[in-house]
A = this chain, B = another copy of it.
Amino acid sequence: MTGRTPAPRKATRRDVARLAGVSDAVVSYTLNGTAPVAAATAERVLAAVEQLGYRPNQAARALRSGSADTLAFLVPSSSDPVFTNPFFGEYASTLEAAARDRGYALYTTATSFRPDEVLARFREFAARQIDGVLVLAGSTPLDSAALDRVGLPWIALNVATGEHGVASLGTDLRAGAVAMTTHLLEHGHGSVGFVGQDDPSEPRYVGWLQACTAAGVPAGPFIAAEVTRPGGRDAGHRIADERSADPTPAPRAFFVASDRTAVGVLRAFHERGVRVPEDIAIASFDGSSEAEYAWPGLTTFRQPIDEMAQSAVARLLATDRDHTHELFPGELVRRRSCGCPDAG
C-alpha cells in the first residue's frame, strides 16, 4: 500500500523529551554530545528515541545551524552535446563514500553548463544550506569570479589547466599524452598522428607534440575531431579514406584524445576494413571500461578517479582551503590496439 496509509505523526524532539522525562535540551545534548549527560539519563533518552523512532528534522537543524551537512556534485547534463564524462558513475560513487565518511550526504545534480545556469544552481545550493560544491568541469569554462560571489566553497574536478585562485584538480593530460605517444613510437612507428580537439594549447596536443619532438620524428598528421564517439567515427572515416587513396599505404599510429573518441575511430576503421593494429595502431586516453571491451582492446591512459575524488572532498572540506590546481599522474594500460602482442 505504498504511501496510501499516511505515516503516523512524526515524533519530534519534544515528544522524546517528554517520554524520557527530561527537557528538550537534554535530548540535544545526548544526541549530539554537546554537553555532559548522566549515564542513566542518556539511557532513558536513547530508549525514548528508539521507541518513538525519532529522527531529527534536518530542515530545522539546517535552519538553526546554517548547514545541511550536504555536498552537491554538479555534473553536465547528458543532453549537453559537447561533453559527457565516462567516469561520472565512478566519480559519484567515490565522492559519495568520501563525503559520507565525513558525515556529509552527497547529492548529485545535472545541469547544462551555460554560465548563467551554473550560477543559478550555485544560488539554489546556497539557499538550501549546502556546504560545498564539487563541479565536474565540462569543456565550457566556468565563471569562477561569479561563482565565488555566491559564497559557497567549491572545487572543480576534471580540470586540465589550473586557473589562478580556483581550487581544482585533474589528471596530468600532457604527461599522459607524452606517455602514450612515446609508447606508440617505441613500437617502431616512424611518426604518430593525433586525433583530438583543434586547440594547440590543449595539454594532450602539447604532450603529443613534445613527445614527437623529443623523439626527433615529425609530428604525424593532426586530425581535428570533436571528442565524442561520433566525432571519432568521422575522424576515422577521414583517416581511412585518405589511406585508401594512397597506392602504397604504410602502417601508421594515432594517439586519440579519449576512449570514447577512439571507440568511434575503431568503428569507422571496422566499417572501412582497416585493421587495428596491423594497418593502423591506436592508443587512447581515460582508462574507462569502454576501452576494455572495445575490439581490439584499447591501450589507454588510466585516470586515477578514486584518488582524485578522495582529494576533492578532503580539500573542499578542509578548514584551511587552498585554491590551487592539483595534478594527478595516471597510468598506461597496455592492450592490443597499440600493437602490444600479449596484451588483452
Contact = CB atoms under 8 A, between A and B. Distances in A.
B153 A3 contact: yes
Each complex incorporates copies of this chain amounting to 2
A167 interface: yes
Nearest to A322: B2
14 contacts: A1-B148, A1-B323, A2-B148, A2-B165, A3-B148, A4-B321, A10-B151, A58-B129, A88-B89, A108-B108, A108-B110, A229-B293, A233-B293, A266-B295
A176 interface: no
Interface stretch (A35-43, A60-68, A214-222, A238-246): A60-68
Given A108-B108, A124-B105, A295-B295, A78 B92 contact: yes
Interface of A: 1-8, 10, 55-60, 62-63, 68, 77-79, 84, 88-90, 92-93, 96, 105-110, 123-124, 126-129, 144, 147-155, 165-167, 229, 233, 263-264, 266-267, 270, 289-290, 292-293, 295-296, 321, 323
Given A79-B93, A289-B229, A123 B55 contact: yes
B127 A58 contact: yes
Contacts of A4: 148, 165, 321, 323
B109 A106 contact: yes
A290 B124 CA distance: 35
Residues of A contacting B: mostly: mixed
B57 A2 contact: no
B167 A128 contact: no
Given A3-B167, A4-B321, 10 more contacts: A1-B323, A2-B144, A2-B148, A10-B126, A57-B63, A59-B60, A59-B63, A77-B96, A78-B89, A270-B295
